[in-house]
Structures are given as structure tokens and as C-alpha cells.
Structure 1
């Protein structure tokens, strides 16, 4: 009986997996850790062979538990747009280059001489930034031509694993979109960009939509680890899109706020909408899209502060913050401690704690940090409203959302009730469900709700919202006032005194 589906997530710090049933049960979960490799400043790499060995270890464990013969389909999700070079034998040639790798600054500057950025954005829904793939290819051509010469295919993290499972090279459509080499409306490769970047069309694999089957597990896998051959494998999903599906984000107007190390913002639309202040992806649900944003610091800012004050108890700081007041007794924090991605795209912006007085304590500052992330979420909501989009449901998830104070602050700042999703496995669940849809185990997209068994509605206090509006006004104005000073500070730090 084929009544289970398997989801595997190639994450930044581990490979995670989950095995689910059509009834909403989780039969198996496990993970295998791995490390980020940064051999030089700005470099971010990982070893794809470690991912592959971890996946084989997980599949072997599933087989030993006598569950593998019940699997109807497999889905892989992962970081995007990671770059993996593979050879004729479908083996990785070098370490992956991760999406947050910053080595291609010079190549991006050179490309800007030839690419009209407004036109490029309209065609691809991308900007010329460190994440897109083709500047990294140019870097490799310059610094590692021998590896480019060996390259038969380029693809992403999850594409590499499903290619190894099936023997069929391919990429999922969101990897193509986020590569910056894809025409978002026409859904085909952008020949002009390929020409500018001197990339041969032949190294780009076929592109598949998430629920399409790309092949079946090969006999060699069965011989090596005992996992059965012939199990269908779908194209899979970008991790942030799969995690959105996992919390039930499926209807136009649904908004998800994720409190991870960074702060993610995901919004569903039924039609193509683009804005340079936001990123865009295809939804895993056909014919839908997800406008999304990423705040560079969220949970990482909380960890920074706890380290600074040498406080190990998250609960103790939260208790002190609860004894503070709305607006943290006159404190405002700008959370740009790592610069900022969306919606301001300012790498030179820096963190600010504004309004400090001798009467302030650690709890006030901690609360101000929590409020600053909520203000960042509100900024994204304003962008969505400015382009004519209506927010109908708000979900919150991930580690930071476990803090009840942070949940309430967020509901009060954004002025809407929010649904907190507890104990959700995230992207591995999303892609397992996607595999189930492909296999016919799940008949409609609403069945993802079978797995959302624990949730809580946080009611927004409108009186608190009115108070927060006044602080939010200063929050927005503070950045605009400081923006030219950020530029001057950067020039001094970099020794560009003549530009000040």
C-alpha cells in the first residue's frame, strides 16, 4: 500500500526529513547536521557530497524501519538559489556557492554597464544582486576556469539531490526564477542575459514545476542502501515557499511573518505582481505567486543582545520587557545591524538604539528590539498595501514566535489578529505534502490543514495599535534622516574621506 510521502529539506545547517500519511500523521522525522564553509571573507559554501551522504543515510534508516515500500512519492526542498556545478557523471565538481555568498561584487559592477536595470527587473522580477547566479558563474570563469571546463550542468541544492536520486538532470522553476536568467512571464531562459554572461544554454537543465515528476529512484540506490527503486520523485520546492505551504499559506491575501534568524515576509497573490522593494517567487500551488521580503536581522539581533548583556535566560529578559511599556519607555531601535535587505535594500544601514536615558534598563532595550522587528514587518505590510494588495489572514511562525510577548507586540503593531502556528516542521512538511498532491494522496490543497494541529489566535489590541502608530512614524522618519549619514560613515570606515 503506497500511503506515505517523504519530504527532505537541504537546509543551511542540516538535512531534515519527514514521512507523512494521508491522514495527517507524522510517522518519522530525523536530521543530519552539516557546516557552512567560509574559507575567505564573503565566501559561503557547503559540500554537496555531505548532503548526498546524509540523504542516503536517511533513506537507509527508513528502509530499516520497513517504511520505504509504503512511499508513494518523494519531494526535495532546499536553499535557493544555491549554485552546484556537476559533471557528466552527475557528481559535484566543487563546493556549492550559497545564496548569501558575496564574492561576485566586481562581476555585478561590470554587468551593470551592459544591463539596463529597470528593463531587467521588468523581465525577470530580479535586481542585479549577490543572490543571482550568473555573476557567480562569471567569477568562476575568471578564478576557476578548470572547474567550468568540467561542468556539464548547473543547478540548485535540492535539484542536485533529486538528480542524484533519479539520474535525470533538471531544475525546479523557482531556482530558474531566482537565478536571474529566467523570463518571469514567458517562463523560459533569458537568452540576452545568457549572452551577456557568456553562459552556454546547454549547461542549463530542463525546468519543471514543483509537482511534476522528474523521474524515479534508480536501481543503484537500491543496491547501495536498500531503498527501493522506482519511487517517483517530484521537482520539489524552494525552502521558503515549501515552508509557507506548510503553515497553510494558500489563498490570495494570506500573509506569513517568520521569526527566524532573519525575518521573512510571504504574501500570496493570484496574479503576477512585482515591486522592486520585494522579491517574487512562484507559489507551489500552480498559477499563484508569493511576494516576499527578508529582513536581515530578527532572531539574530535578539541573540546579539543576549550575548552583549551576558544574559542566558530568554525568559528573564522577556519578563523585564513585559514590565516596560509600549514604546519601551521612549526607546526606538532600527534593526539594521546587518544592513537591510527588503524593503530598503541598504547594505550601508546600521543598527540604532534611539532615545536612551539613564532611566532605561535591559528590559526596555530588549522590548525595543522586539518592537523594531515588528515595525519592520509593518513596513512590508505598508508596501503591500501601496501596490493595492489586501491582507486577509496573518500567520506567524518559527522560533521567535514562541515568545508570547513578541506575538502580542506584533499583533498590536500591525493592527491585525495573527494566527500562531506551533510546532510546524516547516519546509520538509511542505514538500512532503507537495509530493502527496502529485501522487494523488491529497486531493486538494486545503488538506495541508490536517497537519496544522496546534495554533493560537493572538488578538490585536487597537488601543495599543494607536500608540504604536506614533512610534512607527518616528521609526520610519529616523531611517530617512540617518540615510545620508550612513553613507558618510561608510566612506570614513572605508577610507574614502574625499567622498565625505
Structure 2
């Protein structure tokens, strides 16, 4: 008997929802946009109620378009950005805008924590050193700069946890939010309450951390009334968006590697053991007994968008096609032009919020097409840097999968194959993390019987093989790219 599951994805600029059938087909997909707010340089905030209102909108629309199948929904999963911070008062209402995972305001707080906390001990427990993505520095910033607001806080949730709460009334944290918070012991799988108390944080603010597929509640009558869902449908804890994306891309075996061309750039490598690096992040995979070594570049697609939008005054349409064609005819490595993509500072693998973007090697012979191509190459150089770190840990990518916006560009994917020196399989119509969390929900209630079944959704792809001549050229250019940051990082800090 066919079962239907619902997946909701709380993204940076929109909420997406999908209906998925146990027979291996995507039934329908709906999205609704919202805004990323940057009130000051380095700030990144959103309105949590926009996420909920958009979730109501997309779920209701799916119900209107698929009334019969909508009634068959057997489980709901929610995924989203991590670790965004949603602070709630005692009545469960947000007390301020969320502070997003790419927010870079808490520079002083990071320094303070590093002075008070043994970083090697923290790394041994959490798999990471204090960095801008951790929850503690951003919460300390709120306490310091908005004490009246902070005093109202009773609960902390993540993006998808908040939507789960609005659906079920249950305050729950999914385990990968806990992992990326920097306040969680990744081996014992418990909160580091002593770390919280060291900074006068109440451990009661942090709800229980649950595995992704655990059913944490049911759709309440109130949520049912406004979404159209049936009351009583089980809702799982959910998943970090990048982790759900690995499942939906078929990254389920040791050696599988995913590169995600989003606004930021994610790279995830699947292992069978817990392995940490001071240059990368760590997450539990949705798939049992699998783990993910992963990184996140602060700027990827956003770098390209900035160049086309701000520098070229919203270049698009036929003009963009001509620019893309002109760039594709240029030689690999853009005639010596190299861009450092640190236009928002950088997370992994250098963890430097004061790093800055750079165009190196410019001459009067370079054109806008050269700069466009160099932007694309810079993102792939960043991915290559991550793969170098993964190799330093003793791992080798068995296969490379590309998804999200950049995977739709044949030109960009060919650059990826040439810079990485390895075949790249691209899924240009990949449905993303909403499918991943829907499939997880389906596994929880028996709609699917194996993790390998995800491949039924992955039938359309393109394969790109490296050009040996381009590989040699890019190898030389990449070495210059790696040297540039080391030679200029002190100067970057002087102007940050």
C-alpha cells in the first residue's frame, strides 16, 4: 500500500516542502520566500515566525493541490539551517530575530571563550574549537548587548526545531544542532552542562537532544487547523539541512563525497567511524553507523551573485549567457587571475572571520569574462582545499556528487572535474534536503525499507570527466591560491 510522507526545508531565503511517495516518486514541491536580514556588516538574522508562516503556506498549498494524497500523509520531517539560534520566552514566543549560523558579530566573545576554555579539551569533547558557528559566542553577544531581551529567554531551539515545536508543541533539539553548537559531547551524546554553567547559562534552556529519526511528537489540533494536516500525524526530530542533502544525493557509503553549490558551499564526506579535524566540522549521518566529516565555505554562489548583481548591475538573461560562453572559451586558470573567495570571512578550513576576498594577478588584458570565470574557479579551489584536508586524515573520495545551483551549469561542473582531478556526477534537478528528511520520515514509519532506496529518486544526472591538460594548469594555479592566504592573512586582519 502506498504511503505518503511530507518533508519541509527551512532554507536561508525560502521554505520548501515536498510530498513523497513510498513508490519512489516525488509527487509535488512548493516553496515560499522570506528575507535574510543584515542590519549591520557581518550580521545575519531572520524572523522565525516567517519560517512558520511559510511552512503553513507551503503545506496548505500542497494540500490544496493534492487533496487525496495529502490525507494519506503518514509522517512529517523538517530540516533546516544549522545551528541557527531561536530564543523563546516562557510562552514559546521568539524574543528577537534569529541569529544565523553565518553571523560573524561575536568576534570579541570568541576571544573571551578561548581565554577561559581549554581549546584542546573542548576539541576532544565536541570535535571542534570555538568558532563563529558555535552557539555560545552568539548567545554571549546577546547577553552583553541586549540584556533585557536575554533575561526573557527560557528555551533555545534551531530553525527546524522551531517548526517542529509549532507543529507539535514539543520543545526538542535534533542531535546535529547540538553537535554544531559546541556544547555537546559527540561520543557520550550528552550536553556539556559544566560548559554552560561556566558562563552562567542554565542547562534547562536546552531541550533534550534527539536522533534525527526519533518521533518527538504529533501534529496538534491547532497546527492541524491552520496547515490542513490531520491531527495526530507523527513528527520526527528532523535533520540539519546539509545532512539531509547527503541522503537525498545518495551519499550513504564510506568514501562518498558531496559538494553543494549553494549561497555558501558545503562539502561532506561519509565515513564509518567518528573522526574529527581541527579544520572541519563533524556530524552524525542520518544513516545508522555513518558519520560525516564536513566543511562550509562562507561564500560560494553568493560570490558569483555579488559579482553579477553588484559589480555588473544585475547581469542576467541573454547577457549572462554570452558572458558564460565567453568565459568558457578562456584558458583554464583565467590567464593568471586568481580570486580568494573569503568575501564573508571564512569558516572551514581556515576558521578566520577576518579573512578577506582578493583578486590577484589582474592586468589590463583581463575582461569581465575573466573575472566571472575566476569566481567559479575560486569556489572549486575552496572545495579542493577541503578535499586536501580530508586526504590528510587518510581518506580518499570514492566518488564525487555535485548538487544545488552550480550543478546546473555544465561549465562550472567541468571546472570542478578539472580542478579536483576526478570525475564529478551532477544532479541538476536534485530536490535537496526536503527529499532527504521526507525519506528519513518514511524510513521511520516503514514507508521505505532500505537506505539504498533513495537511488530511485536519482535517475537524472550528468557526468563530467577531467581534462588532463586542464588538470595540469589548475594544479599550478591552485598552489598559488593556497599560498595567497598565508601570505596576506596579517594584512587582512589589519583592515578587518
TM-score where L is the length of structure 1: 0.93
**Is the partner of 1:59 in helix, strand or coil?**
helix
Residues 280-319 of structure 1 aligned to structure 2 (within 5 Å): 280-306=282-308, 307-310=310-313, 311-312=315-316, 313-319=319-325
Residues 192-231 of structure 1 aligned to structure 2 (within 5 Å): 192-231=194-233
Q: Which residue does 1:126 correspond to in 2?
A: 128
Q: Which residue does 1:497 correspond to in 2?
A: none
Rounded to whole Å, the distance in 1 between the matches of 2:192 and 2:392 is: 30
Q: Which residue does 1:56 correspond to in 2?
A: 56
The yes-or-no answer on 1:482 pairing with 2:484 is no
User: Given that residues 104 and 132 in structure 2 are in contact (C-alpha distance below 8 angstroms), is that contact kept between their aligned partners in structure 1?
Assistant: yes
Deviation, 1:475, is 2.1
Deviation, 1:42, is 3.8
User: Given that residues 258 and 397 in structure 1 are in contact (C-alpha distance below 8 angstroms), is that contact kept between their aligned partners in structure 2?
Assistant: yes
**Change over 3 Å in CA distance of 1:149–1:354 after alignment to 2:** closer
User: Given that residues 135 and 197 in structure 1 are in contact (C-alpha distance below 8 angstroms), is that contact kept between their aligned partners in structure 2?
Assistant: no
**Change over 3 Å in CA distance of 1:348–1:88 after alignment to 2:** closer
With 117-126 and 101-110 compared, the bigger mean Cα shift is at: 101-110
With 67-76 and 310-319 compared, the bigger mean Cα shift is at: 310-319
User: Given that residues 68 and 228 in structure 1 are in contact (C-alpha distance below 8 angstroms), is that contact kept between their aligned partners in structure 2?
Assistant: no
Rounded to whole Å, the distance in 1 between the matches of 2:378 and 2:39 is: 33
The yes-or-no answer on 1:234 pairing with 2:240 is no
**Change over 3 Å in CA distance of 1:361–1:239 after alignment to 2:** same
Deviation, 1:269, is 1.0
User: Given that residues 181 and 189 in structure 1 are in contact (C-alpha distance below 8 angstroms), is that contact kept between their aligned partners in structure 2?
Assistant: yes
Q: Which residue does 2:339 correspond to in 1?
A: 333
Residues 79-90 of structure 1 aligned to structure 2 (within 5 Å): 79-90=81-92
**Change over 3 Å in CA distance of 1:126–1:4 after alignment to 2:** same
The yes-or-no answer on 1:272 pairing with 2:268 is no
Rounded to whole Å, the distance in 2 between the matches of 1:10 and 1:21 is: 21
Structure 2 spans left out of the alignment, 5+ residues? none
**Change over 3 Å in CA distance of 1:88–1:26 after alignment to 2:** same
Larger Rg: 1
**Is the partner of 2:115 in helix, strand or coil?**
coil
With 63-72 and 226-235 compared, the bigger mean Cα shift is at: 63-72
Rounded to whole Å, the distance in 1 between the matches of 2:371 and 2:338 is: 9
Deviation, 1:134, is 1.9
Q: Which residue does 2:167 correspond to in 1?
A: 165
Deviation, 1:224, is 4.4
User: Given that residues 262 and 296 in structure 1 are in contact (C-alpha distance below 8 angstroms), is that contact kept between their aligned partners in structure 2?
Assistant: yes
CA RMSD of aligned residues (A): 2.0
**Change over 3 Å in CA distance of 1:372–1:88 after alignment to 2:** closer
Query: Which of 376, 386, 403 is matched with 2:409 structurally?
Result: 403
The yes-or-no answer on 1:345 pairing with 2:348 is no
**Change over 3 Å in CA distance of 1:352–1:223 after alignment to 2:** closer
With 415-424 and 107-116 compared, the bigger mean Cα shift is at: 107-116
Residues 14-29 of structure 1 aligned to structure 2 (within 5 Å): 14-29=14-29
**Change over 3 Å in CA distance of 1:194–1:459 after alignment to 2:** same
After superposition, what is the alpha-carbon deviation per residue over 1:145-196, rounded to whole angstroms, capped at 9, x for unaligned? Answer: 4444433321111111112211221110001111111011111011221111
Deviation, 1:253, is 0.7
Deviation, 1:409, is 1.4
TM-score where L is the length of structure 2: 0.93
User: Given that residues 2 and 69 in structure 1 are in contact (C-alpha distance below 8 angstroms), is that contact kept between their aligned partners in structure 2?
Assistant: no
May I ask how many residue pairs the two structures share in their alignment? 490
Q: Which residue does 2:256 correspond to in 1?
A: 254
